Structure 1
Amino acid sequence: MIYEGEGTFEKAIKAYQKINLLIIDEFLLTPLASSQAIELLEIIEFRSVNGSVFFCTQFEPSGWYTRIGNESDTTVSEAFIDSIIHNSYEVMIGESSLYEKTSKLENFELNIYPCR
């Protein structure tokens, strides 16, 4: 969590604005609290103008709603997903683990679909 009162939030936003591609690995490995989702949403909104964000996750986008924010307040998860889904692509790497696939590249399957 980035602490706004210490000025680190603004510094983080500026740092994330300067790079072309932000890669978030293991996205939603643990659920995001509403406050964390709001902070990440602010970063994503800044990035949507000046660069790209790549989310690496084990969860399909349809399962993100239950892992973002508080169950009693779905507004945060809906706002978060709405902000990224319209201009994004979903890259699916088959059914099994990437680690299993890389050892058998001849069977490697990569599907890219627009998220609409």
Structure 2
Amino acid sequence: MLLELEMARTNGTYNKALAKYANPILLIIDEWLLLKPTEAEQHDILELLHRRRRKSSTVFCSQYDPSGWYDQLGGDDSPLAEAILDRIKHDAYQIKIVPTDPSNYRSMREVYGLDPALSE
């Protein structure tokens, strides 16, 4: 989604691409914050959330606990991190899914080698 919005910005179809994600009644964003977004991507996220606010539902599926989202968005180094989280938290419900067998659990970060601490 973020890559598509970036490409649309360069070829002049940004509003059309943004509408594709802003208009559905339900938008599911999987692997939310698996990688830290760039500042341009943060602008896209903020704009998308602003357009969807109070009109539709957005589901964020993440390997990170919501308490870590601020840091993944850049924390104190990102002026947009708090604005993005404010839009997400407003009228939000949180559902945490835990593994049925914690002894055999491997996170997607571990499976794909994105977190060096987990692969040691």
TM-score, normalising length: structure 2: 0.70
Q: CA deviation at 1:5?
A: 4.3
Q: CA deviation at 1:76?
A: 1.1
Does residue 12 of structure 1 match 2:22? Answer: no
Of 25, 28, 36, which aligns to 1:23? 28
Q: 1:41 to 1:54 in 2, by over 3 A?
A: same
Q: Which has the higher helix share?
A: 2
Aligned to 1:58: 63
Aligned to 1:68: 73
Q: Show structure 2 runs of 5+ residues with no match.
A: 106-120
Aligned to 1:41: 46
Look up the equivalent residue of 2:45 and give its one-letter code. Answer: L
Q: Which has the higher strand share?
A: 1
SS at match of 1:10: helix
Q: CA deviation at 1:72?
A: 5.7
Aligned to 2:86: 82
Q: Residues 17 and 50 of structure 1 are in contact (CA less than 8 Å); yes or no, is this contact kept in structure 2?
A: no
CA distance in 1, matches of 2:32, 2:13: 22
Q: Show structure 1 runs of 5+ residues with no match.
A: 102-116
Two-structure CA RMSD over aligned residues (Å): 2.3
CA distance in 2, matches of 1:79, 1:31: 16
CA distance in 1, matches of 2:36, 2:21: 22
Q: 1:36 to 1:92 in 2, by over 3 A?
A: same
CA distance in 2, matches of 1:97, 1:28: 24
CA distance in 1, matches of 2:32, 2:100: 16
- Aligned residues between the structures: 98
TM-score, normalising length: structure 1: 0.72
| Runs of at least 4 residues off by over 3 Å | none
